[in-house]
Amino acid sequence: MISTQCDCHVIHEEIVERVKKVMPEDENLYDLADFFKVFGDTTRIKILWALSESEMCVCDLAVLLNMTQSAISHQLRVLKQVGMVKNRKEGKIVFYSLDDEHIKGILDQGMIHINEK
């Protein structure tokens, strides 16, 4: 037992029990946090936003974001691992594009939200 620092949860027992029942499984909440974590980085946000507009190669993205190819490549790897982008090879050039039709919607909704605040 970690948290027995105070006793008011005994008084609020009904509330705590009720909330406990509607809480999703720990594993799902962990996955959910991991999902949002991907959007919690400016570089990845920019890459996703760019790709929502057009397929682009690594070099294009590096120029667009004014960053090194290496940094972009590392982040593309993260995005591919979580299934948000896919790629195709054309000679030496690797073109990346979105692999999830919900991405733009999520970005848009987030943007609407922060503009409301």
Task: Single out the residue of 41, 74, 77, 88 in contact with its own copies (rule: CB under 8 A).
Answer: 41
Buried b (16+ CB within 10 A) or exposed e, 27-51: eeeeeeeeeeebeeeebbebbbebb
In the shown chain, the binding pattern of residues 62 to 91 toward its own copies, with x for contact by CB under 8 A and - for none, equals xxx-xxxx-------------x--------
Closer of 37 and 102 to DNA (Cβ)? 37
Residue pair 52/98 in contact by the 8 Å Cβ criterion: yes
Does 81 help bind DNA (rule: CB under 7 A)? no
In the shown chain, the binding pattern of residues 34 to 53 toward DNA, with x for contact by CB under 7 A and - for none, equals ---x--xxxx----------
Question: What is the spatial distance between Cα 27 and Cα 16, in angstroms, rounded to a whole number?
Answer: 20
